[in-house]
Structure 1
Amino acid sequence: MTDHERLFGTAPEGLWAAPGRVNLIGEHTDYNEGYVMPLALPQTIKALVSRRPDRLLRLHSGHEPDAEPVTVDLAALAPGAVPGWAAYPAGVAWALAEAGHEIGGANISFDSDVPTGAGLSSSAALEVVTALALNDLGGLGLPPETLARLSQRAENDFVGVPSGILDQMASACCVAGHVLHLDTRDLGRRHVPFAMAVEGLRLLVVDTRVKHAHADGAYAKRRAECEAGAAALGVPFLRDVDHDDLDAALTRLTDPVVRRRVRHVVTEDRRVERVIALLDAGRARDIGPLLTEGHASLRDDFEVSCPELDLVVAAAVDAGALGARMTGGGFGGSAIVLVDEDAAEATGTAVREEFAARGLAAPRVFEAIPSAGAQRIPM
């Protein structure tokens, strides 16, 4: 008997998976309708699902193996009605219903190897795997970008986190061996080959295993500061500020904090353009300095880094890495490091030694392998 059968008394009808992600470049640009370049990780959240004859969702997390499943009444779904982790899949069911899609009850057992709290979008993976499973079982026929939009709405309006679309689109739409060049304004996208092995490169993820308390509310504050900057400049979004006009635009901003936020977003959009040009030219090695430049902007202008993330970047670059930067929302979580293949192990060791020298817990280091987006998996 499987765990799903033990929990719910019925065999699962299918298995679905959705990946976590890292963002190569383009941080805090998605809610400014700018450009991003994420890649999906091999680490996924998996969902075994069986249909129910009633209007209940029963949800179980492999992270809480001894806990009873959370029961959610589809007829009573409303923002704020479901606490904790179950709000994310419940929010997806709510968003589907709000969009006019009829779904029935389901038993869902989740299991995950996406590190939580590491800035690798475990919440988006949880939303997307739920959306895909309910879409397939209900025969809704919704395309991946629609599932991503609905998942984002679940996070924004049901859970109450004002995230952009980057994480959900990465989890739903990425292609193995590629990074996703995404225009978050219209969801125009292109899958760009990212064959690092051809150039003898590795992209490492360093999970600092820390999350600072002041991250609470900081994301929403940064978004509000960006909106204030756009309003002061008379544009709908900071995406609409031309990089060539940035210096002139900054002189029109009287608030020094807003000025720094604007400078990060506009220069970060330009960094995405520069990275895509280098990848198109087969020069992946040359994107390293742009990663490090992006980290400095996130640290100094957007002020979302933290000492542990700064330590990863400094230690990696000092050890000979081609470039490094924090990835994700910030205030902890993970950084990415671009290294020559033969220097990967030594770079990871150097970072761990720096953490140990400062009395910090050892970070988790693993390779980011560009992987496939959400999919149904044969059982």
Structure 2
Amino acid sequence: MKVLFNIIYVLCMSIIIILTTSNAFVDTGLLLIILIISLVSFKGMHSKWMTTVQMIAIILATYQNPMFAYFFGMVIYSLIMGKNFLAVLPLLLASYIFSSYIEIEILLPTMLLCGYLSYNVSVVNDKALKLAKKYDDERMLRSSAESHNQLTFDTIDKVEQFAKLKERNRIAMDIHDNIGHSIAGVLMQFQAAKKIDPIDKNKADKLYEASTKRLAETLGMLREIVHDLKPANLIGVEYIKEIVDDFKFCDIDATYTGNFTNISAVHIEIVTTILKEALTNIIKHSKATKVKLTLDSNKKYLRLFIKDNGLGCEDITENLGIRSMRARVENVGGNFSIGNNNGIVIVCVLFMGNSE
């Protein structure tokens, strides 16, 4: 747009100057210089500096022929496109100086029109660049998500094994740093209390009391670590009920039917993961006031049904979270579906015996 405007503007002004000039040789030479500078500027070579050179050349040419002042509009267009608003001031000063030699009532509207056009084109270009950047960012995000989903389940298993090993190391460090040190401290306090008991009974009793209190705290820490080690299959459906009970965003009408004693740890993990993701999405997007949850278990399958009464979505796009839920279910031969029916509906069916 900038190049097209400058080409048209230069051609029009050149024709007017050639037709009205009284010194064709000098004015033609000045026109050629301005044209060369403009061509270099079109190529984008040091555009900011070339615009400055162009402005100086046009001001000097105006001393020779005031008609060159009409080229100020072209320079203003380039300056505003480059957001060099203060650089317009010298042109306004030059217009005032040459006002006695040119028709200022024509020159100023021309300059204003060029500036207004340039500003609007600049705004449109900025919006286009922002939209293009947003599109590129979304495309990169989609590409990244697709690459992530193409990881093989063998790789995922390795990651899980590494996470388990890392967690075991963390627990070992907790036991060593916290439980071990605390027990060692209690032992030393008991030994010290035993030694001073015959000498200072009150001081020994205080040591015994402090040791007992510290031993109770150590037992509490040990219980927390053991609780964290308790696997999901030992908690079973009670773990799912705990997640539901802890959900405070809106009411959940939960129904549990069937026998849950023989559900595999893999199925419990899949159901809890899907439940957490679904409840997180309800908080983020649904504006729901009620959730219906049903968990059915029999000899053939385990079925999870979740429905909210929120805003829903007519055109559901499967983002990374939904694709992750689907992948977990389908990896063990189950069925996963998500839809819209006056709110989002999620159905997950896991078949018994397909937990490998």
**What TM-score does the superposition give when structure 2 sets the normalisation length?**
0.23
Structure (1 or 2) with the greater strand fraction: 1
Larger Rg: 2
Could you say which structure has the higher helix fraction? 2
Q: TM-score, normalised by structure 1?
A: 0.22
